[in-house]
Amino acid sequence: MESLLSIAVGILFATGIYMMLRRNLIKFIFGFMLMGNGINLLIFTVGRLTRGTAPIVPEELEYLDGSVIQDFANPLPQALILTAIVIGFGFVAFSLVLLYRTYTVEKSLDTDMLQESVLPEVTP
């Protein structure tokens, strides 16, 4: 499954980057969300996949030792991804509101139009 997910992550990156390069800023955010999902999956996959048990120490055990640890999923990437998901949400929400704010001021979400209206002329 690692190989299959590697391909999936590559595709999520490609589609995400393609959307980020479009002129509409909403598409930029959508592209970012695609890429964000890809990044989370990337961390998850390189932490190795297990169909076994969630990283929860069984009630009767005091700890997971070398003999049983192979049956459990790797907890570290999961902790990293959990925070990444939540932070990603904060980022998306903030960017969307920023877009809205930009739109009320600039009346446009077209990157090419925004460049012309926002930046002062650069004299050589």
Partner 1 sequence: MSLGWTVLSGFILAAIAPFIHKFTKNATGWLLSLLPLGIAFYLFTTYFAPVTSGETFVATIPWFADLGANLTFYLDGLSLMFALLISVFGFFIIIYAGGYLKGDPHLGRFYLYLIMFMASMLGVVLASNLIGLFIFWELTSISSFFLIGYKYKYLSARKAAQQALLITGLGGLALLAGFILIGLGTGTFELTEILQNPEALKTLPAFPAILIFLILGAFTKSAQWPFHVWLPNAMEAPTPVSAYLHSATMVKAGIYLLARFSPLMEGVAAWQITLTSIGAITALMAAILALKASDLKQILAYSTLIALGTLTLLIGSGTEAAFKAAMVFLLAHSLYKGALFMAAGAIDHEAGTRDIRELGGLIGKMPITFFAVLLAGISMAGLPPAFGFIGKELSYKALLYGENIFVLAALLTNMGLFAASIVVIAKPFFGKFKAAKDKVHEAPLSLFFGPVVLATSSIVFGFFPGFLDKLMTAAQKSLLGVQHAGKDVHLHLFPETFSDPAFILSMITFAVGAVIFLLWRPVFNGLNAIAPRLDIGPARWYLWALEDLERFAKWQTRRIQTGNLRNDIRYSFIFTFALVAYALYRSKLSFTVDFSGLMIYDFIVFFLMLGGAFAAVRANTRLSAITALGAVGFSVALVFIVYAAPDLAITQFMIETLVVIIIALVIVRLPSFHLHERANVGGRWRDAIIAGVAGLCITLTMLVVLQQPLNTNLSEYFAAESVPHGKGHNIVNVILVDFRGVDTMGEISVLAIAAMGVYALLKFGRKEPEDELDLADKSGDELGEKLGEK
Partner 2 sequence: MILNSIILQTATRILIALLLLLSIWLMIRGHNLPGGGFIGGLVGACACALYTISYGVKKAREALRLEPRIMIGLGLTLAFLSGLISLFLGDPFLTGQWIKIYIFGTLVKIGSPMFFDIGVYFVVIGVTLAMIFALEELEFDYQPSSEADK
117 contacts partner 1 (rule: CB under 8 A): no
Q: Which stretch binds partner 2 (CB under 8 A): 13-21, 35-43, 64-72, 80-88?
A: 80-88
**CB of 113 vs partner 2, minimal distance in Å:** 14
Residue 21: what are its φ and ψ, rounded to 5°?
Answer: -90, 5
Distance CA(76)–CA(96), nearest Å, equals 30
Q: x/- binding map, residues 22-51, to partner 1, per CB under 8 A?
A: xxxxxxx-x--xx--xx-xxx-xxxxxxxx
**CB of 21 vs partner 1, minimal distance in Å:** 4
Of the two residues 6 and 50, which places its CB atom closer to partner 2 in the complex?
A: 50
Specify whether the CB–CB gap between 9 and 45 falls below 8 A.
Answer: yes
Name every residue whose Cβ is closer than 8 Å to that of residue 114 and which is 6 or more positions away in sequence. 25, 102, 106, 108
Distance CA(44)–CA(67), nearest Å, equals 23
Chain contacts with partner 2 (rule: CB under 8 A): 54, 56, 82-83, 86, 90, 93, 97, 103-104, 107
